Amino acid sequence: MKLHRIPLIGLLLLGGCGVPQEQGQKMMNDIAKLQQRSQMFDEQAAKLQKATSEAEMELGRLRKLVDEGQNAIKSSADLGLSVEKLKVDLATITGRLDDLQTSMTALNKSFTDYRAQSDIKIEQVVNATTNQKAPPIPENADGVYSQAQQRFNDKSWVDARRLWEAFLARYPQDARAPKAQFMIGESYLAETRYANAIGAFTKLIDNFPKSELVPDAMFKNGTAFYALKYCGDARIYFQELLRRYPKTEWKRDANEQLKKLQRDLKNKAVCQS
């Protein structure tokens, strides 16, 4: 949920939607704090964008130097230049270029993870403010799970997650718990919130290691990392999927993804790492 809608929710809370004034004020205060944090995240994003732009300019300058150096080496016999010195200079410049690219990738990945965690916290608080208006959660496992699936089918992703999270909290030993965790990841994928989806699928892999859905979660994580341009992480997931589950139904798709990754790994427009 985007933060520019939060003030409207606050007005509804304080304007007579069944929430006591004192409770509504507390919710408004919580939302105000989140807005301040969101502003901080936006400032961080602006700084990251500036750093990325400066880094890209530096990369362009270094690439130009590399090209000039390589051309100079080719014509060094005519120009009387020292080939060995140029080679050393080129190695130094290339090393700086690689370090800079690595730093840019780390910055982008760190911010993506940071923003994903922020989005989850914001969603949890906003959900808390709307619980008074949301339909009550059923009192039995079948009812909660069924209602969550219905919300998912209706593309009400936030409501579906709220119900599946309630299901997991109330019935962690239920045989459908791994599926509920998996569907939380699917709902994030439906919103193209790939970092959040990775967190949800990873939780399934960690908390339900014997579930038959683990191969599915591993494949989904691979595709999500690919979408975020973290191709090295994507390749690890696809390779590990094939190693652990050589007969998985994802075998063909995983192999096709690995072939694509092999072509894309050196393309910085597609792969940041």
- pLDDT band, very low/low/confident/very high, at 272 (cuts 50, 70, 90): confident
Q: What is the mean pLDDT of the chain?
A: 77
pTM of the predicted model over 0.95: no
C-beta of residue 187 within 8 angstroms of C-beta of residue 218 = no
- Averaged pLDDT, 138-162: 95
- pLDDT band, very low/low/confident/very high, at 42 (cuts 50, 70, 90): low
Q: Which tens digit of pLDDT belongs to each residue from 230-263?
A: 999 999 999 999 999 999 999 999 999 999 999 9
pLDDT score of 1: 38
- Averaged pLDDT, 36-59: 68
- pLDDT band, very low/low/confident/very high, at 156 (cuts 50, 70, 90): very high
pLDDT score of 15: 44
More confident residue, 111 or 49: 49
pLDDT score of 246: 95
pLDDT score of 242: 96
